[in-house]
Structure 1
Amino acid sequence: MSNQKIWFITGASKGMGLLLSKLLLDKGDKVAATSRNTEHLKKGIGIESENFLPIELDITNSEAVKQAINKTVDHFGGLDVAVNNAGFSYIGSLEELTDDEFRKALDVNLFGAVNVIRSAMAQFRKQRSGRIINIASAAGYIAGPNIGSYVASKFAMVGLTEALALEARHLNIRPTVVLPGSFRTNFLDEGSLHYAKKTIPDYKSVNTYHSYMKRAGKQPGDPEKLVTELVNLANMENPPVHLILGPDSFQMIMDKRERDLEEFETFRNISLSTDIN
């Protein structure tokens, strides 16, 4: 790939997606940035440039995603990096979340990413190169109470990235799942964090909601450093399949893996007892 890359970024009107888009445009890359509201997107970017292509997009609509990818390729002459950044979280126990709420969470956080991957792969296969960056979370390895739909989508994001890495390696297409910790973006704002409408007092999920809201503006991670590492990732000759970002995320994931191994060993005899003798 040339030094000037062509990027396709979802969820680009705020937070990490907006910061990444602005950084890339500053360095001279070409950016197709998507949002449900392009006016907010254009206002956030703050400049008009021949390298900036704003696209209004509902990522849950597979045909619309295909058209957006095709528009990017037609406009810029190719595609080098696709970033699945769009996402949000419901706060609510599995019992509290309605069917519509749970499905909406997975439609946006997981199936929206799948739509982008499928459409981008057609171009990447054609040119025998490409990078896919899937933004997950430490919650892609560590479950938490009252965020089950978010956890389910991010665990799935890890698994589908691993599968894609095996499927696409011989095509010189490199996917990476990024596992950020707590960064000082607006992810905890009302637009990205929702509370389940149906509440059951036994779960006290409202306490989880208030706990997250109290963290807003106090997250330890520097989002400017985060997006810089995403740019560095796209330039790596041999990028990792998994990239943890943030000391908090790294420590939580390592601790979780230790607990898993301890549990596996505790029940090893049962695990090994099930073959036909």
Structure 2
Amino acid sequence: MSTQKVWFITGASKGMGLEVTKAVLNHGDKVIATSRSTDSFLESLGEDNRNLLHLKMDVTNEQEVKDIISKSVKVFGQIGVVVNNAGYNLLGNIEELSDSELRETMDVNVFGMTNVIRHILPHLRRQKSGHIINISSMMGYMSYPGNGSYSASKFAVIGLSEALAQEVEPFGIDVTILAPGTFRTSFMSESSLAVAKNKIDAYNLKEQVETFRSFDGKQLGDPKKLAQVLIQISRMENPPLHLPLGSDSFNAILGSRDREQEELKEWKELSLSTDFK
């Protein structure tokens, strides 16, 4: 029996999505690579790979997502691994964020991801197999000033994925929440980071933005190694539900959990005081 898998990857035109696409194709699997832009992607991979189907798709357009998934299944017959990688980052303190800016973050990172899941699950349930890999972030387990909208969206990815894992387990479908730390892509570059339009001097957003951008080109994580991990877990019989990637993510999440436990213990008496006696 062939072990070749069919992958459906969003946000595949650059960064981690592009590295995963390249690695999967080199591994001999098939890829449905989706992105809002096609030009740069085709320059990177070419158009003559018979294992590659590259389609223009905006994850926030539900009808477009539904149509692209149906087309993909018709072309390759099935989908085995789903990588919800498309993402958007907006820097700004909560008071500075407009309603439309916050909604744009949620539209891409949460509702766009959910559009893909909603319309791909009927195919996975019929197969009684599949692996959904949702890209969260170390920022989905903790947050920092000026990054609340992104963290809120990635916290939501974790909560949604934990519920999803329990819902689809009876159908033989696995779910993994990937929580990368800082990886050396263009995600923190000036061209990729969006910044709130309304700036309030009291918060010094400019300094917060400069702090984030200072990591660009110095990130600890190697996206090529991340791609190999995804291939590895796609072959596991029982893949992890939660998977931090990178020493920065692993250590920061553990530290955050330790601080949470200490706080819970400190306020235990008050927490338990509300029960009926």
**Short-chain TM bin:** over 0.9
Tell me the SS of whatever aligns to 2:55: strand
Q: For 2:248 and 2:15, locate their aligned partners in 1 and report how far apart those are by CA, in whole Å.
A: 19
Tell me the SS of whatever aligns to 1:215: coil
Give the equivalent residue in structure 1 for 2:207.
207
CA deviation after TM superposition for structure 1 residue 151, in Å: 0.4
CA deviation after TM superposition for structure 1 residue 25, in Å: 1.1
Q: For 2:221 and 2:107, locate their aligned partners in 1 and report how far apart those are by CA, in whole Å.
A: 27
Tell me the SS of whatever aligns to 1:82: strand
Q: For 1:11 and 1:181, locate their aligned partners in 2 and report how far apart those are by CA, in whole Å.
A: 18
Check the 8 A contact 1:33/1:55 in 2, yes or no: yes
Aligned-CA RMSD value: 1.1
Q: How does 1:159-170 map to 2 (within 5 A)?
A: 159-170=159-170
Q: Deviations over 1:36-90 (max 9, x none)?
A: 1112221122352111111101100111111111111000011001110010211
Give the equivalent residue in structure 2 for 1:25.
25
Check the 8 A contact 2:184/2:223 in 1, yes or no: yes
The AA in structure 2 aligned to 1:145 is P
Give the equivalent residue in structure 2 for 1:236.
236
Give the equivalent residue in structure 2 for 1:192.
192
The yes-or-no answer on 1:273 pairing with 2:273 is: yes
Check the 8 A contact 2:184/2:218 in 1, yes or no: yes
Matched residues, percent identical?
49
CA deviation after TM superposition for structure 1 residue 189, in Å: 2.2
Give the equivalent residue in structure 2 for 1:108.
108
Give the equivalent residue in structure 2 for 1:118.
118
Q: For 2:34 and 2:54, locate their aligned partners in 1 and report how far apart those are by CA, in whole Å.
A: 6
Q: For 2:12 and 2:249, locate their aligned partners in 1 and report how far apart those are by CA, in whole Å.
A: 23
Q: 1:2 to 1:123 in 2, by over 3 A?
A: farther
Q: How many residues align?
A: 277
Give the equivalent residue in structure 1 for 2:49.
49
The AA in structure 2 aligned to 1:214 is S
**Unaligned ranges ≥5, structure 2:** none
The yes-or-no answer on 1:69 pairing with 2:64 is: no
CA deviation after TM superposition for structure 1 residue 143, in Å: 1.0
Q: Deviations over 1:179-211 (max 9, x none)?
A: 011111111124431111110011112111111
Check the 8 A contact 1:136/1:154 in 2, yes or no: yes
Check the 8 A contact 2:138/2:181 in 1, yes or no: yes
Give the equivalent residue in structure 2 for 1:174.
174
The AA in structure 2 aligned to 1:100 is S
Check the 8 A contact 2:190/2:213 in 1, yes or no: no
Q: For 1:165 and 1:259, locate their aligned partners in 2 and report how far apart those are by CA, in whole Å.
A: 27
Tell me the SS of whatever aligns to 1:248: helix
The AA in structure 1 aligned to 2:91 is I
The AA in structure 2 aligned to 1:152 is A
Give the equivalent residue in structure 2 for 1:158.
158
Q: For 1:28 and 1:201, locate their aligned partners in 2 and report how far apart those are by CA, in whole Å.
A: 53
- TM-score of the aligned structures, taking structure 2 as reference length: 0.98
Q: 1:60 to 1:191 in 2, by over 3 A?
A: farther
Q: How does 1:2-21 map to 2 (within 5 A)?
A: 2-21=2-21
Give the equivalent residue in structure 1 for 2:82.
82
Check the 8 A contact 1:18/1:45 in 2, yes or no: no
Q: Deviations over 1:121-150 (max 9, x none)?
A: 110000100000001100010111111110
Check the 8 A contact 1:4/1:29 in 2, yes or no: yes
Tell me the SS of whatever aligns to 2:188: coil
Check the 8 A contact 1:34/1:55 in 2, yes or no: yes
Give the equivalent residue in structure 2 for 1:248.
248
Q: For 2:225 and 2:78, locate their aligned partners in 1 and report how far apart those are by CA, in whole Å.
A: 27
